[in-house]
A and B are shown apart, each in its own frame.
Chain A
Amino acid sequence: MERRVIFPNKLLPYLLVAPQLAVTLVFFFWPAGQAIQMSVLSQDAFGQSVTFVGLDNFKEVLSDPDYLKTLWRTLFFASAVAICALVPALLFATMAERVVRGATFYRTVLVLPYAIAPAIAGVLWLFMFSPSTGILAYVLKKMGVDWNPRLDGDQAMFLVIIAAAWKQISYNFLFFLAGLQSIPKALLEAASIDGAGEWRKFRTIVFPLLSPTTFFLLVVNIVYAFFDTFGIIDAVTNGGPAKATEVLVYKVYYDGVHSLNLGSSAAQSVILMAIVILLTAVQFKYVERKVHY
């Protein structure tokens, strides 16, 4: 016998979800639809002449060697950001979990950077590493490093990776901490009784049990590095020097806003849309299934 509460009114449920649907339609489907529409058109910036060109914009983008280089660069950047954001977060979480006194304080402090807007985080790192005035640049120069991220592409890449990862550590920290707290204490105690050391316990019990969290965070961090790092790159390097820090999402912005090359920019954002759909599908397929252990 079913004991569900059922509303006889057929209209009410639709009415209740209507605001959410409206928001989704206006802010997600409409712009996405426009991007798809623009990606098959060729037009000047002011829309004085518009012609249908089919998939020409996509052909042009995908046959551009610069675009493919940017794609590889983005993959490198995303993996580096994910690693640099996940490893310290896991370390901090295991440390913070052991703290008994003042635990709330430590946790709050560790979470704080997440509240900072990406562009601001970028500017903070830019100041510290600014060749003429930055304090860390000064230290590096004293150490004999010829620090100039405005000319040295590797240094510029290093800078944006650090700035992007730093901000994400807090977010990862929160999830790792929650994950750690849900690991049954009995397992760890049993291992201790069997004489397992800290490292062995971590390697054989904690890490495997955390793997769903880790996998979830890996996907989230890659998506973050792909799409949300625009503000940092714009504030720190503008994609330079010589394209050294130009990732896909920055190229979409640059080609659309600076070059007013709307067709190409729209085609690129449709490609990005496909990537994010793929990543989300992966996440649903693997993470949602394994998260209940």
Chain B
Amino acid sequence: MKRIHKALAVAMMSVSLISGAAFAQNKPVEIQMWMGLTGLAGETMSKYGEEFNKMQSDYKVVVSFKGQYPEQRAAAVAAFRAGNPPHIMQMFDAGSGDMMGASKAIVPVSEVFKRAGLAFNPADFIAPARGYYGLKDGSLLSMPFNVSTAVLFYNKDAFKKAGLDANKPPATWPELVAAAQKIRSTNAAGCGFTTTWLAWIQLEQLGSRHNLTVGTQSNGRGGLNAELNFNNPLYVKQVQTLVDMQKDKAFVYNGRSNDASAAFQSGECAMITQSSGAYGGYIRDAKFDWAVAPLPYWPEAKGGPYATTVGGASLWVFNAPNRSANEFKGAAKFLEYLKSTPVMTDWAKTTGFLPATNAAFKYLTDEGYYAQNPRAAVAIGSLANGKQGENTGGYRFGRWTEIRDFYHEEVEKSLQGKQSAKDAIENSIKRGNAALRSFEKTASQ
């Protein structure tokens, strides 16, 4: 009797063990994704995570917001050092150089898809994004997701009030200066022009628009020994123009990042150079008639206007010692879902970001979305259909977030009247090069 009991107990135990193991197999593998998006874009991103989880049962994607990009990156660095980084992390354009320098911390997305046995063709992505986040051999390091570029938004009501042609936005900087002065002299608005993202627009996009270098080594793509060389007179002229326009408030400085957006949205400033990603917000909140135009250019530059370059963010896959092949596969599956045409088109329509894949772009075009929304078509036009040059493919420098702030600080000093525009550019280059050398030292050890 006792023996039977014992046998039964063993049998029951083994049954429960087996079922336990089976249960463990069925339990979805968790895939952590960190994003730096808030508001509408953040909600939409979370929604894709939930939809992916409903579609299949092998993996469970957890999308979480860990702060703005720099904070999130610092958190990911700490998590990586502790051996447990997120599987996928979204990182903004300026952080790309740092991520590429961390060769042991990341797995290139092309490699992630290959390991997972899933088809992945970098050529599916729109060329400018492919160039920004890719290697020379054509493979992609990170997957472009929220793509944007710089454009000019202008208040048509203020243009009419100033006696300007509201359907003929300024195409060049001299035209923009004249329009801003007209707006001020007629008092059609309290300020003529303002800009968001100072370094990204007035330095990086300016370089791309005129096919000028920002640094040596193909703007940092050729190696860590790149040096900054944005000392072309046009960069100085740009700063000088802003300084001069401050008179009579033809230009008002409203901060480094997105703070200036409120000045356009409230009607105070009649024109703003801004990320195309602001489109969705203005549709919802601007109480006046507005339109979008390509980023202005300088007519004296050789070769006419070139394309603007990519901004926004891309998705990186982290490496970690204890990470299983199955987890990488889960990350690849989720990325595959995100780049699918239905998700990409929904993303572009909901948020105002640009479609990152050619298929999504074609779908939206065929559907007539751009014909019906000409304002949304401007950004993709100036990014993808603009003239390409050797300096329109984006930048790859280490510590670029910090170098952008050097530029911000130095230009702020010029705007305060404490130094010349030439000094601002020269000091930014000098400080930026010091940071690049220090990055080179630590990254290549």
CB neighbors of A among B336-394 (8 A):
none
- B65-108 interface (Cβ within 8 A of A): 70-71, 73-74, 77, 80-81, 98, 101-105
At the interface, is chain B mostly helix, strand, loop or mixed?
A: helix
A20: Cβ under 8 A from any B Cβ:
no
Question: Is B70 in contact with A257, judged by CB distance below 8 angstroms?
Answer: yes
Question: Does A238 contact B256, Cβ atoms closer than 8 Å?
Answer: yes
Contact of A288 with B by CB under 8 A = no
- Give the residues from 93 to 143 in chain B that come closer than 8 angstroms, CB to CB, to chain A: 98, 101-105
Set of chain B residues within 8 Å of A152, measured between Cβ atoms: 416
B263 interface contact, C-beta 8 A: yes
Inter-subunit contact A261/B262 (CB<8 Å): no
Is there contact, CB below 8 Å, between B101 and A44? yes
User: Given the known A-B contacts A132-B268, A242-B416, A256-B74, are A44 and B102 also in contact in the complex, defined by CB atoms under 8 Å?
Assistant: yes
Q: Which of A46, A47, A131, A148 has the most C-beta atoms of chain B within 10 angstroms of its own C-beta?
A: A46
Q: How far is the CA of A243 from the CA of B409 in the complex (A)?
A: 7
CA gap between A238 and B401 in the complex, in Å:
14
Query: Would you call B426 an interface residue if the criterion is a C-beta within 8 Å of the partner chain's C-beta atoms?
Result: no
Residues of A within 8 A of B402 (CB): 258-259, 261
Known A-B contacts A243-B409, A260-B77; the reply to A150 vs B445 at CB < 8 A is: no
CB contact list, B42-56 vs A, under 8 A: none
Chain A, interface SS category? loop
Contact of A132 with B254 at beta-carbon distance under 8 Å, contacts A240-B412, A260-B74 already known:
yes
Closest residue on chain B to residue A149 by CB atoms: B255
Known: A150-B259, A151-B415. A133 touches B266 (CB 8 A): yes
Residue of B254, B416, B435, B443 near A153 (CB, 8 A) is B416
Encode contact with B along A42-59: 1 for CB under 8 Å, 0 otherwise.
Answer: 111111110100000000
The interface size of chain B toward A, counting residues with CB under 8 Å, comes to 41
Please indicate the chain A residues that have their CB under 8 angstroms from the CB of B443 in the complex: 44, 49
Identity of the chain B residue whose Cβ is nearest the Cβ of A242 in the assembled complex:
B412
Q: Which of A46-100 contact B (CB under 8 A)?
A: 46-49, 51
Question: Taking CB as reference atom, which chain A residue is nearest B101?
Answer: A44
Q: Please, what's the 1-or-0 string for A25-55, where 1 marks a CB less than 8 Å from any CB in chain B?
A: 0000000000000000011111111010000
Q: Is B408 an interface residue (CB 8 A)?
A: yes
**Contact yes or no, A132 B263, CB < 8 A:** yes
Contact partner of B412 among A241, A259, A261, CB < 8 A?
A241
Q: Given that A132-B254, A258-B70 are contacting pairs, would A49 and B416 also be in contact in the complex, using a CB cutoff of 8 Å?
A: no
Per the bound structure, the CA–CA distance linking A48 and B266 in Å amounts to 48
CA distance A267 to B405 in the complex (A): 21
B25 interface hit (Cβ, 8 Å) = no
* Distance A152 CA – B416 CA, assembled complex (angstroms): 7
Give the docked Cα–Cα distance between A43 and B102 (Å).
Answer: 12
Interface residues as binary, B406-445 with A (CB distance below 8 Å gives 1, 0 otherwise): 0011101101101000000000000000010010011101
A153 to B70, CA, bound (A): 24
The answer for the CA separation of A131 and B261 in the assembled complex, in Å, is: 12
Residues of B within 8 A of A257 (CB): 70-71, 74
B155-168 interface code vs A (CB 8 A; 1 in, 0 out): 00000000000000
Bound Cα distance A217, B263 (Å): 41
Q: Mask for B181-212, Cβ within 8 A of A = 1, else 0?
A: 00000000000000000000000000000000
User: What separation, in Å, do the CA atoms of A49 and B73 have in the docked complex?
Assistant: 18
Residues of A within 8 A of B103 (CB): 48
Among A42, A45, A131, A241, point to the contact of B77 (Cβ < 8 A): A45
Residue of B nearest to A49 (CB): B445
* A214 CB-CB contact with B under 8 Å: no
User: A130 near B: Cβ within 8 Å?
Assistant: yes
A residues 128-157 with Cβ under 8 Å of B?
Answer: 130-133, 148, 150-153
Taking CB as reference atom, which chain A residue is nearest B264? A132
The reply on B253 being an interface residue by CB < 8 A is yes
Measured CA separation A241–B262 after assembly (Å): 18
Contacts of B71 in A (CB 8 A): 257
* B396 CB within 8 Å of chain A: no
Q: How far is the CB of B410 from chain A (nearest CB, A)?
A: 8
B221: CB under 8 A from chain A? Answer: no
The reply on B60 being an interface residue by CB < 8 A is no
Q: Is the CB of B416 within 8 A of A241?
A: yes
- In chain A, residues 219-252, which have Cβ atoms closer than 8 Å to a Cβ of chain B? 238, 240-243
**Sample of 6 further A-B pairs with CB below 8 A, known A133-B266, A242-B410:** A45-B98, A48-B102, A48-B104, A152-B416, A240-B412, A258-B405
| 12 A-B pairs (CB sep. < 8 Å) | A44-B442, A44-B445, A45-B98, A46-B80, A46-B102, A51-B445, A130-B262, A131-B254, A241-B412, A258-B405, A259-B402, A259-B435
Identify the 4 closest CB pairs spanning chains A and B, nearest first: A49-B445, A242-B412, A44-B442, A150-B255
